[in-house]
Amino acid sequence: MRFLRLFTKGFFLIINLAVVILFLAACLAPYISPAWFWPISFLTLAFPFLLGMLVIFLVGWLFFNYKYTLLSLIAILLGWKSISAFIAFHLPAGNKPLSGPQSLTVMSYNVAQFGLYREKDSKYNRQAMFALIKKQEPDIACFQDFYTSEKKNDFNNREDISKEMQLPYRYFSSDFNRNGMQHWGSIIYSKYPIIASDKVKMSVGPLSESLIYADIVKDDDTIRIVNMHLESYRFNAKDYNAIRKIKNQEDTGLVATKSIVQKMREAYIRRSQQADIVGNFIRQSPYPVIVCGDFNDTPSSYTYFTIKGDLQDAFLKKGFGVGRTFNGLAPTLRIDYIFASDDFKINSFRRINSDLSDHYPVIANLSLVGSGVPEVEVNK
């Protein structure tokens, strides 16, 4: 009996130690570029599960041998920076938008081309997304995976949103086009005048997208809005089907796994390179800055920490829980963000649960409180 107890204790200690090592390795991911060592990035996907296991061990050892709680406790303390980026602790009571002209409502939304390639009901999907966006009454709207067309009997989303949402000012990247008539990319809409705008290529290649920015003037202040869609895994229907089979233990998926891992590896490396470009661009902004985007990466990643830098994460300021924004694959994927410089006060943050896209829209209400911002005269 004593041997069994010793064996059981030793077994759980080894498992606990292994989880601690993997967890601490995941906490190093923000400091190690995947371009230099890409395997560590895979641990960022496991981060919430490793954290959950540490908590389970921590509670379990309290009942059986409290001195071993130090293993998990020390790991949690060492990894607190990553934990605090992953979980928000603000209750809804203090999460209210500020009404009035001094506030700014910002929406970020991967619109998945408004359901362009859905097998059915794509027209209904577009109408429902338009209604959702209009209901939020954003002052600034940043959309990723945006589609628009000048073809007859197709959807000119670029013009229609400006008219229907009363957002007359815009800047569109048009990263890809077909025959000069159909366009894909990211777009910024604004209720306020745009005095400067441009795009910056984040990587090379036929499928590379751009960081876009627009400098808007609200009252006497100039604000820079940045929007981006970082490299995705580019999983196709075959990949998602393979993942489903592996999760359901219907297939070992050795061949499929190799292809999936290769795509993930390439995406991690490209995103780290894009994050370096984006981070440097944001730091050079002469104005208060608001950053929106689909980063395709989690809060424990190199991508997140490199872009965020000293910016405020609106979800962490006013959200609660893990803030999932992607409705596929895993219940812990927060990959869509709104950041703001310290010139702003974050009044509220909301995530709208909607299955119209594979991403949930996120909305923040902010107030500009900084001073000493360079003034720019608007040409009338």
pLDDT higher than 90, residue 16: yes
Residue 206 makes CB contacts below 8 A (sequence gap 6+) with none
Do 183 and 40 lie in one domain? The reply is no
**Cα 245 from Cα 239, distance rounded (Å):** 10
**Mean pLDDT score, 245-265:** 69
The mean of the pLDDT values for the chain is: 88
Of 86, 113, 148, the residue at which a domain comes to its end is 86
pLDDT higher than 50, residue 267: yes
Residue of 186, 109, 184 lying closest to 352 (CA atoms): 109
Q: What is the pLDDT of residues 192-240, one digit of tens each?
A: 999 999 999 998 776 689 999 999 999 989 999 999 999 988 776 666 6
pLDDT of residue 63: 87
Position 246 confidence tier, pLDDT thresholds 50, 70, 90: low
**Cα 202 from Cα 112, distance rounded (Å):** 20
**Cα 192 from Cα 219, distance rounded (Å):** 9
Do 211 and 64 lie in one domain? The reply is no
E runs forming strands in the chain? 88-89, 103-110, 140-149, 169-172, 176-178, 182-190, 194-201, 210-218, 221-229, 289-294, 312-313, 320-321, 336-340, 344-351, 362-368
The parent domain of residue 309 ranges over 92-368
Do 157 and 257 lie in one domain? The reply is yes
pLDDT of residue 372: 42
Do 78 and 107 lie in one domain? The reply is no
pLDDT of residue 351: 95
Do 350 and 245 lie in one domain? The reply is yes
- Residue 378 placed within a domain: no
Range in 110-119, 151-160, 213-222, 313-322 the model is least confident about: 110-119
**Mean pLDDT score, 18-47:** 95
Do 104 and 232 lie in one domain? The reply is yes
Position 377 confidence tier, pLDDT thresholds 50, 70, 90: very low
Residue 43 makes CB contacts below 8 A (sequence gap 6+) with 22, 25, 26, 29, 50
pLDDT higher than 70, residue 69: yes
pLDDT of residue 374: 46
Do 65 and 166 lie in one domain? The reply is no
pLDDT of residue 237: 63
Count of structural domains within the chain: 2
Do 155 and 96 lie in one domain? The reply is yes
pLDDT of residue 257: 74
